[in-house]
Amino acid sequence: GCVLVVSVIEQLAQWHNSTVKAATERLCNYIPGKYQIIRHMLCCIDREMNADVVCHSLKLCKQDPGQPLCHLYPPPKVSWFSTFFKATDCGSFTGFSSVCAFPLLANLCEKIKYVIRNKLPFEDFDGDKFSTFPTLRGYHWRGRDCNDKNTTVYPGRRPDNWDVKSDSNCNGIWGVDPKDGIPYEEKFCKGADSQGVVLLGDSAGAHFHIPPEWMTVTQMSAKSFANLPMAFTDELDWPQFSEITGFLNSTIGGWTDSLYLRLRRRNRCNHRDLQNISQNGIMVYVIQTLRTYFPINRAVYLSFSLARNQLLDNPAIVIYATIGNDVCNGNRDTLAHMTTPKEMLSNVMQALQYLDSRLPNGSHVILTGLVDGRFLWDNLHDRYHPLGQLNRDITYSQLYSFLDCLQVSPCSGWLTPNETLRNLTSERALQLSNVLKEIARSEKFANFDIFYMDFPLRQTAEEWHKMGGEPWQLIEPVDGFHPSQIAAALGTSITWQKALHEWPQVLGKENPFNDQIEAIFKDQGGH
C-alpha cells in the first residue's frame, strides 16, 4: 500500500511538472478527508528516493531475517543500507501495530472487521440479516430490507396473508385490487415459482475491483475518488454489479447483467430476493485461525451466514462458486497449501448437508468448477500495469513477483513465470472441479436438486473476441487476477443460456403478469 501511494505521488509530480509537496497536496485534495499518513511521507519523497526506499525508510515495509528484500522498482545504485541511513530522520510508523491503528481509520476498521468476521450487515436493527444501509454487508450484498424494525419482514419470505396490509417480503407487491378485492400478491405471484438467488463465493463472486483511475495519474481527479468511502466499506468489492447478484447499473466500466436481474425479469415477484455471501481471499487466514478453535471449513463457514427459513421462505437457487480460493494462496510452498481432492469432497459435502437443513424444499444448488488461471499469465505478463503506464516501467510480471516476494500474492501458483507451477496449479484445479462434478452426479438431497457447470472462461473469451475485444480486457487491470466487469456480464449470459437449455426447471416459469405489475408500479409512482 505504501509503495502504491508513494508511486502515485511521484508520478503526479512528474505529470503536472510540480514539486512532490504540491503533488501530495493534490492527492490529498482528491481523496475525501485528510489522511495524515500521506502527509508523513513528504520528507522522504523529497529526497528523490523511489517508492521502495521511502516505504522501507518509514518502516511500513520491512525485510524479515533470512527473507529476500522485496521491491517493485530496480534497487538504487548505492547500497540499500546507505540509502536508509540517509533517511533515518524521516520518522517511522513503528508505533502503530497496523494500518487500523491510525486514529482516523480505527473506527472504520472495527466495522469492517465485524462484517468480515460475520458476513452479516453491520446496520441491522431487527437482526433478520437484511439492512436498509448499502455498504458494510448491507443491501449491496443482500436484498434491501423494507422494515428494519420488524424481524418478520425481509426479502425472500412467503407473503404473510398475501400481504393484504403490508409488504412482508419487500418485493413491492402488497395491498388489494379495488376492482375485484383480490390481494395483488395472490393475483400476481401465487403459483409463480418465486425464488431467490444466493451466492456462496470468493472474491471473484464478491466482484473485487480497485478502480484503475486511483493510480493512473493521467486520468486522476477528485471525481476519481468519489467512490472511495463506499469501496472501502464494501471491502473493495462491488457485489451490486456482480455476475450473480448485480442489480445496479455499473459505474466501473462495462455493463451489469446478472442471474438475479434475469430471474427478476422472468418473474417480477422475485424482486430483492438476493444474497451474496462471498469472501475475499484474505479471509482464508481468518478461517484457518478459527479452525484452531472450531472444527469448521470454508464452505460451511460461508453457509452459516445464509438467511433462509425452511418453513417461512421461498426456495432459492444457490450458486457455489469458489473458483480460485482452493488453489490460490500467497505461500512460497503454494502446492502444499492447496485443498486436496479428499478435503474438497469433505468440505463441500458438509456445506451441502448444512444447506439441506436450511433451504426450503424445491431449492436448487449449482456447483461451479474452478477456473483455469493460466489465462492470467498468458494474457497479461508482458503488458504494462496501470502504475507503469506513464513511464512504461512496471509490467504485470514485475507486480506479480513483488506480491509473491511479500507473500501476499492472490495466487502464487498462477501468477508466476514458472510454467511448471502454473500447469500443476491448473491440474489441481481440474481435480477439484472433477470432485464437484462427481458430487452433482451421484449425491441426492432432500430439499434441493444439484447440478454442475464448468466455469465458462473459454466461452466468455470466445464471445468477447466475436465482439472485437481482447482477452486481457476480461481481467481486472489493477490486481491482474479477478474477472472484469465485462467478463462478469458475459459470464451471466453464458450461464443463463446453459440453464435454459439443460435445466429449465431451475429458472422457474415466466410470470405472465410481469407487465401488469410494472404498469401498476408506474401508475402509483413507484419504481
| pLDDT, tens digit, 9 for 90 and up, residues 211-235 | 999 999 999 999 999 999 899 899 9
Cell of 153: 419482514
Q: Residue 128: its pLDDT value, please?
A: 97
Beta strands in 322-362 (DSSP E): none
CATH T-level topology, domain 127-521: Rossmann fold (3.40.50)
| pLDDT, tens digit, 9 for 90 and up, residues 307-360 | 999 999 999 999 999 999 999 999 999 999 999 999 999 999 999 999 999 999
Question: Looking at 203, 303, 401, 426, which residue is catalytic?
Answer: 203
Q: Which of 285, 280, 214, 206 is nearest to 244 (CA)?
A: 206
Rounded to an integer, what is the distance from CA 205 to the centroid of its chain?
A: 5
Grade residue 94 by pLDDT with cuts at 50, 70 and 90: low
Which of 75-84, 124-133, 410-419 is least confident? 75-84
Which of 18-32, 435-449, 499-513 is least confident? 18-32
* 503 contacts 515 by C-beta, under 8 angstroms: no
Which of 110-114, 341-345, 362-366, 367-371 is least confident? 110-114
* 201 contacts 516 by C-beta, under 8 angstroms: no
254 or 293: which leads in pLDDT: 254
Which of 29-33, 117-121, 172-176, 293-297 is least confident? 293-297
Print burial letters for 86-102: b (CB count within 10 Å at least 16), e (below 16).
ebeebeebeebeeeeee
Grade residue 494 by pLDDT with cuts at 50, 70 and 90: very high
Whole-Å CA distances, 519 to 8, 428, 523, 525, 527: 50, 52, 6, 10, 10
* 387 contacts 215 by C-beta, under 8 angstroms: yes
CB atoms within 10 A of CB 165: 12
Q: Is 209 exposed, middle or buried (0-12, 13-18, 19+ CB in 10 A)?
A: buried
Q: Residue 283: its pLDDT value, please?
A: 44
Grade residue 64 by pLDDT with cuts at 50, 70 and 90: confident
Q: Residue 396: pLDDT above 90?
A: yes
Q: Residue 115: its pLDDT value, please?
A: 83
Which of 37-41, 174-178, 319-323 is least confident? 37-41
Grade residue 294 by pLDDT with cuts at 50, 70 and 90: very low
Q: In the predicted model, what is the mean pLDDT of residues 172-182?
A: 95
Cross-strand bridge partners of residue 451: 366
Sheet holding 196-201, edge to edge: 274-278, 196-201, 316-321, 363-368, 448-453
460 or 100: which leads in pLDDT: 460
Q: Residue 289: pLDDT above 50?
A: no
Q: Residue 43: its pLDDT value, please?
A: 64
Q: Is 34 exposed, middle or buried (0-12, 13-18, 19+ CB in 10 A)?
A: exposed
Active-site residue flag, 203: yes
What is the distance between the alpha carbons of residues 186 and 188, in angstroms, rounded to a whole number? 6
Q: Residue 59: pLDDT above 90?
A: no
441 or 67: which leads in pLDDT: 441
User: Mean pLDDT in the chain?
Assistant: 89
Q: Residue 288: pLDDT above 60?
A: no
Q: In the predicted model, what is the mean pLDDT of residues 25-43?
A: 70
Beta strands in 350-462 (DSSP E): 363-368, 448-453
DSSP codes of every residue in 72-135: SSPPPSS-HHHHHHHTGGG---TT-SSGGGSHHHHHHHHHHHHHHHH-S-S--TT-SS--SSSS
Domain ranges of the chain: 1-62, 127-521
At 376, the amino acid letter reads L
Continuous segment of H or E residues that includes residue 201: strand 196-201
- DSSP label at 407? T
Percent of the chain residues topping a pLDDT of 90: 73
Q: Residue 436: pLDDT above 60?
A: yes
Grade residue 106 by pLDDT with cuts at 50, 70 and 90: confident
pTM of the predicted model, to two decimals?
Answer: 0.92
DSSP codes of every residue in 205-267: HHTB---GGGT-GGG--GGGGTTHHHHHHTTTB-GGGSTTT--S--SSSS----HHHHHHHH-
Q: In the predicted model, what is the mean pLDDT of residues 261-274?
A: 98
Q: Residue 399: its pLDDT value, please?
A: 97
Q: In the predicted model, what is the mean pLDDT of residues 268-273?
A: 98
Cross-strand bridge partners of residue 321: 201
Percent of the chain residues topping a pLDDT of 70: 87
Work out the end-to-end distance of the chain between its first and last CA atoms, rounded to an integer number of angstroms. Answer: 41
3-class SS shares of the chain: helix, strand, coil, % to 5: 45, 10, 45
Which of 286-295, 298-307, 407-416 is least confident? 286-295
Q: Which of 236, 256, 205, 249 is nearest to 486 (CA)?
A: 256
Q: Residue 526: pLDDT above 90?
A: no
Q: Residue 93: phi, psi to the nearest 5?
A: -115, 25
Q: In the predicted model, what is the mean pLDDT of residues 424-428?
A: 98
At 110, the amino acid letter reads E
Grade residue 285 by pLDDT with cuts at 50, 70 and 90: very low
* 454 contacts 433 by C-beta, under 8 angstroms: yes
Q: Residue 61: its pLDDT value, please?
A: 84
Q: Residue 287: its pLDDT value, please?
A: 40
Q: Which of 440, 448, 487, 515 is nearest to 196 (CA)?
A: 448
Q: In the predicted model, what is the mean pLDDT of residues 50-67?
A: 85
What is the distance between the alpha carbons of residues 167 and 268, in angstroms, rounded to a whole number? 14
What is the distance between the alpha carbons of residues 213 and 200, in angstroms, rounded to a whole number? 30
